[in-house]
Amino acid sequence: MRALLVAVNSSYVHTNPAVRSLSAASAVPFMEFNINQDSHDILRSILSYQAEIVAFSCYIWNIGHVLRIAEDLKKSRPGVIVIMGGPEASFCAEDMLESRYADYVVCGEAEESLKELLGGIERGNAGNIRGVLYREAGQLAGNGEYRLVNNMQLLPGPFSAGDRYDGNKIYYYESSRGCPFSCAYCMSGSLGGTVREKPLDQVKREINEFVERDVKLVKFTDRTFNANRARAREIVRFVLKKTGNTCFHFEVALDLMDEEMLSLLRCAPEGKIQLEAGVQTTNTRTLEAVMRRMDLEKLKRNARAILEQGNIHLHLDLIAGLPYEGLNSFRTSFNDIYELYPDALQLGFLKLLPGTGLRRKAEKYGIIYRSYAPYEVIRTNDISAEELLFLKGVEGLLNRYYNTGRARHGLDYLTKNQILEPFELYERLYAFCEQEDYASRPLSAKNQFVALIEYAKKYLTATVQEAFFAALRKDYDQTKIKGQIPEELSKII
């Protein structure tokens, strides 16, 4: 039977590692789309392949699109068999099957079970496959076990047959699956520390596949890349010596880094390695509640050591809406991490993912969350809906000014000279932008600077304004905005 794998990514630049692995394991071709594409165009492409079986890869960012496409597909071609898999399907299998637009749900890692299911459908006997649920005579049937691939050597390489390389896209790679930690907000934490690693020789061969295709950026999807410190060091050594112009992104636990790893990182050419670390909070009671073990002081020391070297892009994450973290506590967490001055600081919001420990304990912490993906927090016992929406505004300004680097000299002048604490700066700036209607509408690059200038004129002293405008002029020049320079900055020589 003619089968097709379908991925709907969160943006054009992303690629889907799951369908590539499944395609290589099962010899089934795939099509890749993104959530910004017109659903009619996606449906037209799927129908044009004339598949008898269509399998969708489901995540929190695409599930609404996937369900609508599956409905349209079933109504367009009623005889087609629809299979759902991926994280969003694995923990919501019964609901998926209730929709009547899914015939089978594959639970867990699907390289083995999907191949078995396709063979079973071909033979007319798709029952009794581990990790596969379906409906029979209106009743739930099959085996809903969350299936894992234990022999990582059996997993295919990062590219499937016929995969066309696109130099504008980000490619993802997994050298391991699972996580040794049990963070209550993370789906990996609900699987009991089942870490499985590919052999190092295999990892090196597969990294070379990216290098040979001249892939610009490879993001490792390993949940904690450096949990196995010796293994992580060996991969970094290989990356530094053997991988040409390809850049590699790793998600790490900064407090697990030892001096040997830091020494390796000091030797990295600028732009070769990117690191991302989820700090989430600096509230120790909160960390305990979400079962996150972390040495905050060591994390800060290692972050400073990496940033001082200046050759590695460091991205740090915070999560708003965690247990026991009210607005004042979050203010402290924000200041603690902002004052490390990472290259990027992501302010995220708690999502109660299906299958996670925190979702099971939501009532205990008074966590009220959206019933639909991505299941984001609305309020908790510790923080109100209004306060979380205010933090959404702070997030917007953080992304607009800090994470783009657009006003870093100006912002750094205010915070590093202790004129304003970091959170206070964004708190006041957001209140001003709300008042002047700068917060919720798109602004040109020039008008983003105009907003900062007007804020400074209203709230900063004359002496501080002068120094702030001098710093902001550097930012303005680096942004290379065409046209007349704002008057307050044009005076700066």
Mean pLDDT of 316-327: 98
Number of domains in the chain: 3
Selected residue with higher pLDDT from 157 and 44: 44
For position 192, what pLDDT does the model report?
62
Q: Are residues 204 and 341 in the same domain?
A: yes
Confidence band for 200, pLDDT divided at 50, 70 and 90? very high
Mean pLDDT of 476-482: 93
Q: Are residues 324 and 188 in the same domain?
A: yes
Q: Are residues 287 and 230 in the same domain?
A: yes
Q: Is 152 exposed, middle or buried (0-12, 13-18, 19+ CB in 10 A)?
A: middle
Q: Tens of pLDDT along 373-411? A: 999 999 999 999 999 999 999 999 999 999 999 999 999
Mean pLDDT of 424-453: 93
For position 491, what pLDDT does the model report?
83
Q: Are residues 332 and 480 in the same domain?
A: no
Q: Which of 302, 324, 346 is the last residue of a domain?
A: 346
Please report whether residue 369 resides in a domain.
Answer: no
Mean pLDDT of 8-34: 93
Q: Are residues 404 and 444 in the same domain?
A: yes
Q: Are residues 124 and 170 in the same domain?
A: no
Please report whether residue 383 resides in a domain.
Answer: no
Please report whether residue 127 resides in a domain.
Answer: yes
* pLDDT over 70, % of the chain: 98
Q: Tens of pLDDT along 93-129? A: 888 898 889 999 999 999 999 999 999 999 988 888 9
Q: pLDDT at residue 160 above 80? A: no
Q: pLDDT at residue 193 above 70? A: no
Q: Are residues 204 and 338 in the same domain?
A: yes
Closest CA to 163 of 15, 41, 48, 298: 15
CB 176 within 8 A of CB 196: yes
Structure tokens at 195: 């870490």
**Range scoring the smallest mean pLDDT among 43-47, 121-125, 130-134, 163-167:** 163-167
Helices and strands in the chain: count of H runs, count of E runs: 19, 17
Name the residue with tokens 């927090």.
377
Please report whether residue 365 resides in a domain.
Answer: no
Q: What is the pTM of this model?
A: 0.92
Instruction: Tell me the sheet residues that pair with 81.
Output: 53
473, HSE (Cβ side, Cα atoms, 13 Å)? 16
CA distance 144 to 140: 10
Please report whether residue 382 resides in a domain.
Answer: no
Q: Are residues 125 and 181 in the same domain?
A: no
CATH number (domain holding residue 111): 3.40.50.280
Q: Are residues 56 and 133 in the same domain?
A: yes
Q: Which of 313, 330, 346 is the last residue of a domain?
A: 346
Confidence band for 229, pLDDT divided at 50, 70 and 90? very high
CA distance 232 to 213: 23
CATH number (domain holding residue 325): 3.80.30.20
CA dihedral sign of residues 230, 210, 15, 349:
positive
Please report whether residue 366 resides in a domain.
Answer: no
Q: Are residues 138 and 187 in the same domain?
A: no
Mean pLDDT of 177-192: 84
Tell me the average pLDDT of the chain.
Answer: 94
Q: Are residues 200 and 331 in the same domain?
A: yes
Q: Which of 324, 346, 368 is the last residue of a domain?
A: 346
Q: Tens of pLDDT along 268-320? A: 999 999 999 999 999 999 999 999 989 999 999 999 999 999 999 999 999 99
Please report whether residue 273 resides in a domain.
Answer: yes
Q: pLDDT at residue 250 above 90? A: yes
Confidence band for 65, pLDDT divided at 50, 70 and 90? very high
Q: 433: domain range? A: 400-493
Q: Are residues 191 and 309 in the same domain?
A: yes
Please report whether residue 380 resides in a domain.
Answer: no
Name the residue with tokens 């390289």.
111
